[in-house]
Structure 1
Amino acid sequence: MAERIVKEAQVALDFSGQRFDQIATELFSDYSRSRIQSWIKDGVLLVDGKQTKPKEKLFGGEKITLSVELEEQVVHDAQEIPLNIVYEDDDILIINKPAGIVVHPAAGHHDGTLLNAILHHAPETATVPRAGIVHRLDKETTGLMVVAKTLQAQTDLVAQLQDRSMGREYEAIAIGAMTGGGAVDEPIGRHPHNRQKMAVEPVNGKEAITHYRLVKRYNNHTHIRLKLETGRTHQIRVHMAFIQYPLVGDPQYAGRLKMPKGCSPELQDALRGFRRQALHAKKLELAHPATGQWMEWEVDLPEDMLELIEVLEADLHNGGENHYM
């Protein structure tokens, strides 16, 4: 479903002497600088009806016009896959993602993804890069995600992620009894020997900061709340493993399953049966891309994490020992 954008703006005298592409980026701030430059190059963004070079300086008083039909950015199929929608309007979609669904098609996952579901539910997202997906959750991580339904919303939400004004809080169950909260400020990059994994990489990694605090300490596990400053791939999982508190069930970063000495048979069964990282994106807050209104959403923990916490509570009251075999 193509979308046509028609806009015009008068260049104020205050802009006199500035470059065309810089002025256009200011006047049409709903769109990214790279997209503005692309439109200038394609001849759909004009000065007084004429194609003009991006670096050409304007005097003020000119009329800038934009007339473009957005082409479909996404070539994947729309598929009827159920979505748990927490909130929706003309600009954004807030989804509570279940475990087991990949966000974006990739090698080995060409369909059946969240992107395919979004294209079916909101066909207009086909004209938005990545169908409006501006941040991701790992396949087995549950919880809140925001999707942009328009190009303007996508530009704004990406900016909020980049300037770290978008708030994202998670809850997790970590292996080990923590004594207090803290922050992990360690750069993350691709693992040097296993390209499927990420790792703390002091030399080649990108800045990554995770704050964590205790919700409840159990005999050999800790329920924690985490807040991200940055959004690196596998960030929480890598950081918690780095400080020796990997997440329960994490297939990549927790290592071989070890049973706590003296824990109940019920807890042993629960730990063996928990086959994904115990991580949930619980809270999301952002400025609405169209209105600027500050909005926030919070969703309950999924059933499997609630059941695990229930067993941990029972084990705590049964006096399980505080170390691993």
Structure 2
Amino acid sequence: MNDLMPSITFAPANTIMSASEQIACQVPADYAGMRLDQALAALLPTHSRSRLQRWLKTGQLRVDGRIWRPRDPVFGGETISGELIAEAETFALPQDIPLDIRYQDADLLVLNKPAGLVAHPAAGNWDGTLVNALLHHYPELANLPRAGLVHRLDKETTGLLVVARSLQAHSALVAQLQARHIERDYLAVVNGLPVAGGTVDAPIGRHPVERQRMAVVPGGRPAVTHYRIMRRFRTHTLLHVKLETGRTHQIRVHMAHIRLPLVGDPLYGGRPRLPPSASPHVLEVIQNFRRQALHAERLALSHPVSGVRLTWQAEMPADLLELVAALEEDAKV
């Protein structure tokens, strides 16, 4: 191997050692005039810009043996070298919380998240989260942003999540997510009877008054949701929903925006819609469904190292199955 090509060595996956990486690479001539941090981002795409800037400032990355500033321009031909330590980025208490792992290898995990599990610590949920569980079962994830979480699901949403197990995998999966190459398909039970499937293309941002909510707002971030009808009941519909973008609460906001709010959604659902003259059992099931009826059923992505396309599916959880069964029972009356 050319000794000026980047080489990478990671600590064993079953330790909590910091990941280390030996770097030796040369700045191409056609990079002349670029900022150093921009050149590094192109040369070392498996690392975030903030991490590269930090390594430059601490001297872990050197240019021709000297410390340069991130903003310094390169001329082409410089040698960038260093022994890099990926310091811990996730600080949370490891907790022995069971995980439903559907796939794992040296580079990634795919898990099926239950309802009630918050993705990562935040105000009001400093422990008992998915991140706490991941750090218990996979201590090395402390070296990755958010313990390797590439995307997240709301607390009460169930289904499939991907977790990176290395810096290389994390950067590759984040890039796929940003390029919209990760497919995320959901099942949702909504109040209402759409005539047909369709697409919601409406920007989402923070609600101007109720700050804990998101909303369709002018100047929000672009958001696109596709949906099609799977089963139609008397007053409700089971939808297949596909995300093109991944904004906070996107499906919940978009469905409420087109007057098809999710059953049980505490923020956007409003009052539950009850089928007229429904049986006591059906009414009880609908009224007692106290979370958004949303399940991340399918996940597809390209493996961050091999490039092989992989797909996973997760069955509906018991409470959502019970809801659908009750609505089917009502539809037969």
Bin for the TM-score computed over the shorter chain: over 0.9
Specify every segment of 5 or more residues in structure 1 that has no aligned partner in the other structure, as ranges: 319-325
Give the AA of the match of 2:124. Answer: G
Q: How does 1:158-169 map to 2 (within 5 A)?
A: 158-169=174-185
Q: Secondary structure at the match of 1:214?
A: strand
Equivalent residue number for residue 320 of structure 2: 305
Q: How does 1:95-174 map to 2 (within 5 A)?
A: 95-174=111-190
Q: How does 1:113-262 map to 2 (within 5 A)?
A: 113-202=129-218, 204-262=219-277
Q: Give the CA deviation at 1:116.
A: 0.1
Equivalent residue number for residue 91 of structure 2: 75
Is the CA contact (8 Å cut-off) linking 1:169 and 1:228 kept in structure 2? yes
Task: Tell which deviates more after alignment, 135-144 or 300-309.
Answer: 300-309
Give the AA of the match of 1:117. Answer: A
Q: Give the CA deviation at 1:101.
A: 0.8
Give the AA of the match of 1:276. Answer: R
Q: Which residue of 61, 75, 81 corresponds with 1:58? A: 75
Task: Tell which deviates more after alignment, 269-278 or 254-263.
Answer: 254-263
Equivalent residue number for residue 300 of structure 2: 285
Is the CA contact (8 Å cut-off) linking 1:174 and 1:222 kept in structure 2? yes
Q: Give the CA deviation at 1:24.
A: 2.2
Task: Tell which deviates more after alignment, 251-260 or 272-281.
Answer: 251-260
Task: Tell which deviates more after alignment, 283-292 or 110-119.
Answer: 283-292
Is the CA contact (8 Å cut-off) linking 2:235 and 2:273 kept in structure 1? no
Aligned equivalents of 1:257 and 1:13: distance in 2? 64
Seq. identity, %: 52
Q: Which residue of 234, 247, 264 corresponds with 2:279? A: 264
Change in CA separation of 1:188 and 1:18 when aligned onto 2, cut-off 3 Å? closer
Q: Give the CA deviation at 1:41.
A: 2.2
Aligned equivalents of 2:261 and 2:192: distance in 1? 8
Q: Give the CA deviation at 1:18.
A: 4.4
Equivalent residue number for residue 295 of structure 1: 310
Q: Which residue of 5, 24, 31 corresponds with 2:40? A: 24
Equivalent residue number for residue 322 of structure 1: none
Aligned equivalents of 1:29 and 1:300: distance in 2? 35
Task: Tell which deviates more after alignment, 65-74 or 214-223.
Answer: 65-74
Task: Tell which deviates more after alignment, 235-244 or 68-77.
Answer: 68-77
Q: Give the CA deviation at 1:161.
A: 1.5
Is the CA contact (8 Å cut-off) linking 1:19 and 1:58 kept in structure 2? no
Give the AA of the match of 1:168. Answer: R
Q: Secondary structure at the match of 2:83?
A: strand
Aligned equivalents of 1:111 and 1:121: distance in 2? 15
So what's the TM-score if we normalise by structure 1? 0.93
Give the AA of the match of 1:91. Answer: D
Q: Give the CA deviation at 1:262.
A: 2.1
Is the CA contact (8 Å cut-off) linking 1:9 and 1:64 kept in structure 2? yes
Q: Which residue of 76, 79, 84 corresponds with 2:100? A: 84
Q: Give the CA deviation at 1:22.
A: 3.1
Q: Secondary structure at the match of 1:154?
A: helix
CA displacement 1:21-42 (0-9 Å, x = unmatched): 3332222121123322222222
Is the CA contact (8 Å cut-off) linking 1:94 and 1:146 kept in structure 2? yes
Aligned equivalents of 2:296 and 2:164: distance in 1? 18
Q: Secondary structure at the match of 2:190?
A: strand
Aligned equivalents of 1:270 and 1:258: distance in 2? 12
Q: Which residue of 15, 19, 40 corresponds with 1:3? A: 19
Aligned equivalents of 1:52 and 1:190: distance in 2? 40
What is the RMSD of the two structures over their aligned residues, measured on CA atoms? 1.5
Give the AA of the match of 2:73. Answer: E
CA displacement 1:31-80 (0-9 Å, x = unmatched): 123322222222111122222233232332x3221312121111210000
Q: Give the CA deviation at 1:15.
A: 4.0
Task: Tell which deviates more after alignment, 168-177 or 253-262.
Answer: 253-262
Q: Secondary structure at the match of 2:103?
A: strand
Aligned equivalents of 2:35 and 2:203: distance in 1? 37
Aligned equivalents of 2:126 and 2:234: distance in 1? 42
Aligned residues, how many? Answer: 316
